[in-house]
Amino acid sequence: MRAGIGYDAHRLVEGRPLILGGVVVPYHLGLAGHSDGDVVVHAIIDALLGAAALGDIGNHFSSDDPQYANISSLFLLARVRDLLSDHGWQVVNVDATIVAERPRLAPYIQQMRQAVGASLHVGTDLISVKATTTDGMGFAGREEGIAAQAIALIEPIS
């Protein structure tokens, strides 16, 4: 088995939907980004790619490439799932933590787990998503942005 970690952060801005873990979360701000700005899925992608030693999200989905403008990060995650499979790997589990002062995310966690699991073709029992605050400290605490970190475990396809 191999493990990988991922981290992503984006600034909160007006005029974009807030998408976390593939779920639209009602909020007056969204995350800036070339794609949909989904920091949760981006962190998971980097964790999976790192575990397989296949680079990072920017190596595969450049922010300079117009085909990825406003694209769903769940679509990118499905492509990473296929890439892992092509290299002989399958997902064992994923654990992600969202760092945000607001909005309250507990009502959306199960939907996020389902969306990520569906994209990876695994059950929600293999996907963990949690949320925490920084008690007002740092950029997340000042509500300037949202971050996420993830760890993923993969194993050879048997």
Query: What element of type H or E holds 98?
Result: strand 89-99
Mean pLDDT in residue range 14-19: 98
pLDDT at position 158 over 90:
no
Indicate the pTM of the whole model: 0.97
The residue whose two tokens read 């996907």 is 127
CATH topology of domain 2-156: 60s Ribosomal Protein L30; Chain: A; (3.30.1330)
Mean pLDDT of 143-153: 98
The per-residue pLDDT of the chain, averaged, comes to 97
Question: Residue 14 above 90 pLDDT?
Answer: yes
d(CA 75, CA 93): 19
Q: Which residues contact 26 (CB under 8 A, 6 or more apart)?
A: 18, 103
pLDDT of residue 109 exceeding 90, the answer is yes
Whole-angstrom Cα distance, residue 20 to residue 120? 16
Res 56: pLDDT: 96
Residue 113 main-chain phi, psi, to 5 deg: -60, -40
